[in-house]
């Protein structure tokens, strides 16, 4: 097996939502009464995630993004999916700590807390070799993908910790935090140094969140959402576009599954939304025993 192949699990894969992670059937009411905070909810995967949580019975969904018109569209889709779910939004740039903090405070003021958070906002600029890259564009990937994720983590964590404690006392699960990573985090492709290293950093950041706050009840995951033909995804070289064949609803439903408590055992790890969750769960003992799906340097003795 090649060094590239060995970084991935040999599991059945999916391209669209399926029964085991369907918010309208298997996961119906799994988010009942919960408040879900979603950064980057104006389109694509973030928008689909907002709708999926509404379908799963969320009590409230709070949306953030930079476009108010797009946020209004997502809000309408949430209301159609579940008229009983409350939904509010803030125009917010995740690279601004002040704006993220204000959005989190507004969410808590309106809905009383946060039970799950999704750091979905991302950026992918033109692929250029390092010697040909634009410094500002290169760093923008880290500003959005890493700093943006950090800001969401930093300001939602106190409320996620409180939620985790409250739910644990009732024998239920909450305090879930999902960071948008990418299969690119595990690859080495010419011209993608900014995007792929920023996503590699996200996987490690996920591990640190778990290390720092696992004892507080936090369950953090870094996920590859699949190859989705979003506006961001289409910024990749045209030769890769045929691989963008996964529906946004796959990652959205996988996120609902993660936040249902069914995957709490896999906290602190990198997971792909394309992996079949039943086959993934069957590997639980091997994954935990061999400490798989985390960033490690392995060297021969």
Give 64-93 pLDDT, tens digit per residue. 999 999 999 999 999 999 999 999 999 999
31 CB neighbour count, 10 Å cutoff = 27
Give whole-number Cα distances, 153 to 38, 46, 59, 169, in Å.
11, 16, 21, 23
Find the farthest-apart pair of alpha carbons in the chain and give their distance in angstroms, rounded.
60
Give the span between the Cα atoms of 10 and 7, in whole angstroms: 10
Find out if CATH 3.40.50.720 is the number for domain 13-289.
yes
pTM score above 0.75: yes
Per-residue pLDDT tens for 260-274? 999 999 999 999 999
pLDDT digits (tens, 9 = 90+) for 89-116: 999 999 999 999 999 999 999 999 999 9
- Token pair belonging to 273: 């939304």
Q: What is the pLDDT of residue 1?
A: 29
Instruction: Quote the CA–CA distance of 192 and 130 in Å, as a whole number.
Output: 9
Mean per-residue pLDDT, 276-287: 97
Query: What residues are labeled active site?
Result: 195, 199
Which of the four pLDDT bands, split at 50, 70 and 90, describes residue 4?
very low
Joined tokens for residue 216: 């507080």
Can you give the pLDDT at residue 184?
Answer: 86
Distinct helix (H) and strand (E) counts, the chain: 9, 7
Spatial contact of 35 and 62, defined as CB atoms under 8 Å apart: yes
Quick check: 214 and 208 in contact, CB under 8 A? no
> Beta strand pairing status for 60-65 and 35-39?
parallel
Element (H, E) at 74: helix 68-81
Q: How far apart are the first and last CA of the chain?
A: 20
Per-residue pLDDT, 8: 74
Residue 256 above 70 pLDDT? Answer: yes
What does the domain layout of the chain look like in residue ranges? Answer: 13-289
Burial class, 274, CB count within 10 angstroms (exposed 0-12 / middle 13-18 / buried 19+): buried
Angle of helix 248-258 versus helix 44-55 axis, rounded to 10: 50
Strand 269-272's sheet: what is its strand order? 86-91, 60-65, 35-39, 116-119, 176-180, 219-224, 269-272
169-208 core/surface letters (b: 16 or more CB in 10 A; e: else): eeeebbbbbbbbbbbbbbeeeebbbbbbbbbbbbbebbbe
In angstroms, rounded to a whole number, what is the distance separating the alpha carbons of residues 4 and 128?
22
Averaged pLDDT of the chain: 93
């Amino acid at each position: 097996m090649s060094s590239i192949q060995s970084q991935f699990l040999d599991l059945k894969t999916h391209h669209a939502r399926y029964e085991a992670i369907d918010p309208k059937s298997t996961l119906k009411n799994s988010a009942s009464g919960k408040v879900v905070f979603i950064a980057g909810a104006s389109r694509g995967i973030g928008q689909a995630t907002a709708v999926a949580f509404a379908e799963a019975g969320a009590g409230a969904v709070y949306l953030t993004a930079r476009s108010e018109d797009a946020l209004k569209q997502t809000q309408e889709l949430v209301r159609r999916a579940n008229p009983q779910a409350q939904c509010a939004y803030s125009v917010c740039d995740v690279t601004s700590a002040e704006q993220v903090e204000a959005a989190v405070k507004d969410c808590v003021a309106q809905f009383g807390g946060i039970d799950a958070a999704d750091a979905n906002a991302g950026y992918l600029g033109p692929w250029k070799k390092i010697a040909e890259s634009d410094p500002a564009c290169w760093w923008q990937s880290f500003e959005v993908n890493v700093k943006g994720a950090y800001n969401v983590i930093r300001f939602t964590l106190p409320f996620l910790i409180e939620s985790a404690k409250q739910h644990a006392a009732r024998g239920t699960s909450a305090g879930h935090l999902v960071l948008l990573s990418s299969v690119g985090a595990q690859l080495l492709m010419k011209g993608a140094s900014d995007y792929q290293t920023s996503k590699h950093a996200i996987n490690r950041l996920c591990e640190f969140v778990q290390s720092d706050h696992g004892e507080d009840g936090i369950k953090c995951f870094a996920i590859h959402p699949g190859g989705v033909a979003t506006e961001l995804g289409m910024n990749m070289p045209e030769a890769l576009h045929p691989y963008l064949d996964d529906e946004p609803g796959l990652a959205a439903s996988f996120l609902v599954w993660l936040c249902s408590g069914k995957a709490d055992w896999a906290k602190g790890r990198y997971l792909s939304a394309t992996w079949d969750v039943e086959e993934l769960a069957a590997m639980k003992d091997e994954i935990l025993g061999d400490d798989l799906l985390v960033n490690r340097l392995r060297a021969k003795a």
